[in-house]
Amino acid sequence: MVDWKSKIGKDIEEILMTPEEIDEVTTRIAEELDRDLSDNSGKVIMLGILKGSVVFMSDLMKKVKTPVEIDFMKVSSYKGTETTGRIQILLDLKREDLSDATVVIIEDIIDSGMTLSYLTDYLRLNGAKCVKTCTLLDKPSRRKVDFVPDYVGREIPDKFVIGYGLDFDEKYRTLPFVGVLAQSVYDPDWSAK
């Protein structure tokens, strides 16, 4: 069997979260969601933001005991390792029942905060009864807009990370851990420095 180390080991500078740590974090967040949502009247929708959140979302939805529906939106703002600052909705949420729903947005990571603050406002404007935000990772030092998520797996330093759903130009999403991307991968001059 070809393992990731022999294929892309040099692309990864450091492992930030092992599969075991991720498992603990998703268990803890599922318990927090159950605690807060158990006496909720009306429906709960876990809204995964494609594509980065799919692995996190699929682990979390299996651990949550509260009955929830799932749905997805797709947005884009990134090119390579930098945000363009413009949020584009690529797949919209077309539902008539938002006024009866608590929507829990599931994200992979918060960086500038623009994606989640935009989506929170967007869902409220579209009539959602309540909007909560949940992210696996948070880089608070990178904020461009004030935004505090309701549920956070772990805060991390200002490093570009990949794996467990997170990508760099669509690569590395299937890795079972979160790792720091080696600078040589996205900065062609790096090895010469």
Q: Verify whether residue 108 is a known catalytic residue.
A: no
Query: Please, are residues 96 and 129 in contact by the beta-carbon 8 Å criterion?
Result: no
CA distance linking residue 51 with residue 39, whole number of Å? 30
Query: Please, are residues 22 and 164 in contact by the beta-carbon 8 Å criterion?
Result: yes
- Among the listed residues 11, 59, 108, 111, the single catalytic one is 111
Exactly one of 37, 44, 57, 110 binds ligand IMP (CB under 6 A); which one?
110
Exactly one of 114, 119, 128, 178 binds ligand IMP (CB under 6 A); which one?
114
CB nearer ligand IMP, residue 44 or residue 111: 111
Query: Please, are residues 54 and 165 in contact by the beta-carbon 8 Å criterion?
Result: yes
CA distance linking residue 128 with residue 141, whole number of Å? 30
Segment contacting ligand IMP by CB under 6 A, of 36-44, 60-68, 92-100, 101-109: 101-109
CA distance linking residue 25 with residue 19, whole number of Å? 10
Exactly one of 52, 149, 163, 179 binds Mg ion (CB under 5 A); which one?
52
Does residue 160 belong to the site contacting ligand IMP (CB under 6 A)?
yes
Binding stretches for ligand IMP (CB under 6 A) = 52, 77-78, 83, 107-115, 160-162, 166
Catalytic residues: 111
